[in-house]
Chains A and B, each alone.
Chain A
């Protein structure tokens, strides 16, 4: 979303033009705050549990830890309705294209949490395996990494709150899409 900061003023323009610096920025940053407040407090995650981390993720959603307190609310079975994908488990070579397709099907803005050792680096399957992807960030861009094997629900909650904090720093003026240039390794 580009903002023209130096509009052309016709020479015979009778009035006074206030440059779209301060005034416009006030509007934009206030809008940013409202939008970020909305986005960060209603992150709906996609069901994506490929192994044991999914059990901890379910526990994080269940009554004791209850991530809907922080606006994570419900998990969605469709990527079209999801803002967030929590990669909870091992990604194997056969699953990688599926993960990428799910990510591509999600609507912007979209966020990714890599939960647990497998999603971060392949974890216990890093060495001597023919089938495991060594980190989900080989497939899609990741915003927050939550270490652990598996991480406790508190750790996942911490990661989710960090993602919220990250979203609150966004501005539509210099918003970049993490997938841009990802495949080229930029």
Chain B
């Protein structure tokens, strides 16, 4: 399915996409990008996976991003049936306690990806079965991939 067809299809799923915070872009990207509000994330993801026309059954990348102001997660989805790819982004401005729904129940691979994002960005995932540090030590203080992370001992800033 082409990006345009994907966009048209997905817009029909949600009534009034603009007020519900659904944004589509293709700028500087070969894939269709969707930005979605955190409260609609899980529903949209379930639909992307289960709808037979989209059938995104493969989450091939899940990354945390710190845009400076907002924290967010970027999901790259592919369909092994239709061979199309889509990018879903979700953001929040809450840096104290950023929380999104876990997509672990949709794609099991997200379990470790979300642990990694939690480890480096401190983003929490609701309903995650085992949310704890993955790479860093248990007693690590702070989240090192955030832009405002400070470590005066180990880091040489340039």
**B is a partner of A:** yes
Give complex CA distance A134, B158 in Å.
15
B156 touches A128 (CB 8 A): yes
Give complex CA distance A131, B149 in Å.
13
Number of chain B residues close to chain A: CB under 8 A: 9
Let me know if B157 is at the binding interface, CB within 8 A. yes
0/1 string, B114-158, CB within 8 A of A gives 1: 000000000000000000000001000000100001010011111
A131 touches B157 (CB 8 A): no
For A127, the chain B residues whose CB sits under 8 A away are 156-158
17 more A-B residue pairs beyond the given contacts A126-B156, A127-B156, with a C-beta to C-beta distance below 8 A? A93-B154, A94-B137, A127-B157, A127-B158, A128-B156, A128-B157, A128-B158, A129-B154, A129-B155, A130-B144, A130-B149, A130-B151, A130-B154, A130-B155, A131-B144, A131-B154, A134-B156
Which of the listed residues B144, B156, B157, B158 has the most CB atoms from chain A within 10 Å of its own CB?
A: B156
For A134, the chain B residues whose CB sits under 8 A away are 156
B154 touches A128 (CB 8 A): no
| Chain A residues engaging chain B, CB cutoff 8 angstroms | 93-94, 126-131, 134
Give complex CA distance A134, B156 in Å.
10
For A129, the chain B residues whose CB sits under 8 A away are 154-155
For A131, the chain B residues whose CB sits under 8 A away are 144, 154
| Chain B residues engaging chain A, CB cutoff 8 angstroms | 137, 144, 149, 151, 154-158
Output the least CB separation between A4 and chain B (Å). Answer: 48
Would you call the interface of chain A mostly helix, strand, loop, or mixed? loop
A/B interface sample: 7 pairs, CB < 8 A: A93-B154, A94-B137, A128-B155, A128-B158, A130-B144, A130-B154, A134-B156
CB-CB nearest in chain A for B140 = A130
Give complex CA distance A128, B158 in Å.
7
Give complex CA distance A129, B156 in Å.
7
Give complex CA distance A130, B156 in Å.
9
Give complex CA distance A134, B154 in Å.
9
Output the least CB separation between A137 and chain B (Å). Answer: 16
Give complex CA distance A130, B157 in Å.
10
For A126, the chain B residues whose CB sits under 8 A away are 156
Give complex CA distance A128, B151 in Å.
10
Give complex CA distance A126, B158 in Å.
9
For B144, the chain A residues whose CB sits under 8 A away are 130-131
For B151, the chain A residues whose CB sits under 8 A away are 130
Give complex CA distance A129, B154 in Å.
7
For A128, the chain B residues whose CB sits under 8 A away are 155-158
In the A-B complex, list the 8 residue pairs whose CB atoms are closest, starting with the nearest.
A127-B158, A130-B144, A130-B151, A130-B154, A127-B156, A130-B155, A128-B157, A126-B156
CB-CB nearest in chain A for B135 = A94
CB-CB nearest in chain B for A125 = B156
Give complex CA distance A131, B151 in Å.
10
For B154, the chain A residues whose CB sits under 8 A away are 93, 129-131
